[in-house]
Amino acid sequence: MIKFTPILLALLYALAMYRFSVWRTGRELDTRSTELADPRLVAVTKRLARALDLPRIRVHIYEIDPVNGLAAPDGRIFITRGFYRKFQQGEVTAEELASVIAHELGHVALGHSRRRMIDFSGQNALRTALAMVLNRFLPGVGVWIANIVTSMLAARLSRSDEYEADAYAAALLTKAGIGIAPQISLFTKLDALTEQRAGAAPAWLLSHPRTADRVAALTALENRWQGDAPRS
């Protein structure tokens, strides 16, 4: 039992830290967000709501500058002020922002936020266990290797979640009559909008798939749907 004590402690620590992070994030979002009221964007969220048989979809603006969307652990959907500003400036269309909202709805519907608590806890325990084993053979280096391995695992799980949320959004946008064209067009703008260079880090360490890979996955999905469509 003593051998497993560090792993159990790591697991409990990860759970406690995740709970604290959820609480802190909730407080931050409560104090720095307001409900989206732009009639142009409310119109497209109504289309998404009808496709989901919901009375409405509430979207909030998170008052920070970076361009991003967010699904909070409690299920609320946010777009940042920076993203909304891009819409106001005409750099992003209402339908493109709808694709972001649909993507974040996918994270909620697919349970990614809840699953991340389990993933995070498991990764912390795995990191501790690997470090314990590897340090016996590679003193001083084992911890570094354990961190690399668990970071790779976390990145892979995160990329999988993003692909799943993309597919959910594509299906929802199609059902809402918006289609996936705005989703793809936004991806082509995303690197410039966020001022990020995906090539700055190895693909296997990126928490999000490369833009080209996401577009290719959506194109393949659309082609498959068109091939499955009944012919008159």
In a domain, 232, yes or no: no
Q: Which amino acid is at 39?
A: P
154 close to 123: Cβ distance less than 8 angstroms: yes
pLDDT at 198: 46
Burial class (CB in 10 A: 0-12, 13-18, 19+), 169: buried
pLDDT digits (tens, 9 = 90+) for 92-149: 999 999 999 999 999 999 987 666 655 555 566 556 665 666 666 667 666 666 666 6
pLDDT at 1: 47
Based on the structure, what is the number of domains in the chain?
1
In a domain, 120, yes or no: yes
Domain that holds residue 197: 2-225
Mean pLDDT of the chain, nearest integer: 80
pLDDT band per the 50, 70, 90 thresholds, residue 207: low
Task: Provide mean pLDDT across the span 48-64.
Answer: 95
* Two tokens, residue 148: 């690399």
Task: Provide mean pLDDT across the span 14-35.
Answer: 73
- The owner of tokens 């799980």 is 157
94 close to 40: Cβ distance less than 8 angstroms: yes
In a domain, 188, yes or no: yes
pLDDT band per the 50, 70, 90 thresholds, residue 209: confident
pLDDT at 84 > cutoff 90: yes
